[in-house]
A and B are shown apart, each in its own frame.
Chain A
Amino acid sequence: MAGSVLEIKDLHVEIEGKEILKGVDLTIKGGEFHAIMGPNGTGKSTLASAIMGHPSYEVTKGSITLDGEDVLEMEVDERARAGLFLAMQYPSEISGVTTSDFLRSAINARRGEGNEVSLMKFIKGLDKDLDYLEIDKNMATRYLNEGFSGGEKKRNEILQLMQLNPEIAILDEIDSGLDIDALKIVSKGINKMRGENFGCLIITHYQRLLNYITPDYVHVMMQGRVVKSGGPELAKRLEDEGYEWIKEELGIEDETVGQNA
Chain B
Amino acid sequence: MTVETKLPYNKEYIEQFSTDRNEPAWMKTLRLEALEQAEQLEMPKPDKTKITRWNFSKFKQEFTKGEAISSIKELPEVLQDYFDQENVPENLLIQRNHSIAYATLSSDLKEKGVIFTDIFTALEKHSDLVEKYFMKDAVNVDQNRLTALHAALMNGGAFIYVPKNVEIEEPLQVVFWQEDPELSLFNHVIVVADENSKLTYVENYISSNEEQETVANIVEEVIAMDNAKISYGAVDNFAAGTTTYINRRGVAYNNATIDWALGQMNDGNTVSENITYLMGNGATSNANAVSVGRGKQIQNFTASIVQHGKATDGFILQRGVMKESATTIFNAIGKIEHGGTKANAVQESRVLMLSPKARGDANPILLIEEDDVTAGHAASVGRVDPIQMYYLMSRGLTKDEAERLVIHGFLAPVVNELPIESVKKQLKQVIERKVY
Contact = CB atoms under 8 A, between A and B. Distances in A.
B391 A88 contact: yes
Interface stretch (A4-12, A74-82, A182-190, A240-248): A74-82
B393 A80 contact: yes
A169 B391 CA distance: 15
B411 interface: yes
A106 interface: yes
Interface string B113-137: 0000000000000000000000000
A105 B393 contact: no
A79 B394 CA distance: 7
B431 to A, nearest CB: 12
Nearest to A146: B409
A94 B406 contact: yes
A53 B401 CA distance: 18
B393 A96 contact: no
B399 A77 contact: yes
Contact of B386 (A55, A75, A88, A105): A55
Interface in A89-134: 91-92, 94-97, 101-102, 105-106, 109-110
Contact of B393 (A77, A85, A94, A102): A77
B405 interface: yes
Given A55-B390, A75-B393, A88-B394, A96 B408 contact: yes
Interface in A49-95: 52-55, 75-77, 79-81, 85-86, 88, 91-92, 94-95
Residue of B385, B394, B397 with highest tally of chain A CB at under 10 A: B394
A4 to B, nearest CB: 15
Contacts of B396: 77, 80-81, 106, 109-110, 164
Contact of B385 (A52, A92, A97, A143): A92
Interface string B403-418: 0011011111100000
A94 B395 contact: no
A54 B388 CA distance: 11
Interface in B370-410: 385-388, 390-399, 401-402, 405-406, 408-410
B27 to A, nearest CB: 46
Interface residues of A, number: 28
A94 B411 CA distance: 12
B395 A96 contact: no
Given A81-B396, A96-B412, A76 B406 contact: no
A79 B401 CA distance: 16
Contacts of A80: 393-396
A95 B409 contact: yes
Contact of B395 (A55, A101, A164): A164
Contacts of A76: 390, 393-394
B407 to A, nearest CB: 9
A35 B391 CA distance: 23
Contact of A109 (B390, B391, B395, B409): B395
A94 B399 contact: no
Contacts of A53: 390, 394
A79 B396 CA distance: 7
Contacts of A54: 390
B397 A94 contact: no
A79 B397 CA distance: 10
Interface in B271-326: none
A160 interface: yes
A232 B236 CA distance: 64
A18 to B, nearest CB: 19
A55 B387 CA distance: 8
A75 B173 CA distance: 46
Residue of B392, B396, B410 with highest tally of chain A CB at under 10 A: B396
Given A55-B390, A76-B394, A92-B387, A105 B410 contact: no
Contacts of A88: 391, 394
A94 B401 contact: no
Interface string A171-185: 000000000000000
Interface of A: 52-55, 75-77, 79-81, 85-86, 88, 91-92, 94-97, 101-102, 105-106, 109-110, 143, 160, 164
Given A92-B385, A101-B405, A105-B401, 10 more contacts: A52-B394, A55-B387, A76-B393, A77-B399, A77-B402, A80-B396, A85-B395, A92-B390, A94-B391, A97-B406
24 contacts: A53-B390, A55-B386, A55-B387, A55-B390, A77-B394, A77-B396, A77-B398, A81-B396, A85-B394, A86-B394, A92-B391, A94-B405, A95-B409, A95-B412, A96-B409, A96-B412, A96-B413, A97-B412, A101-B405, A102-B392, A102-B405, A106-B397, A109-B396, A160-B395
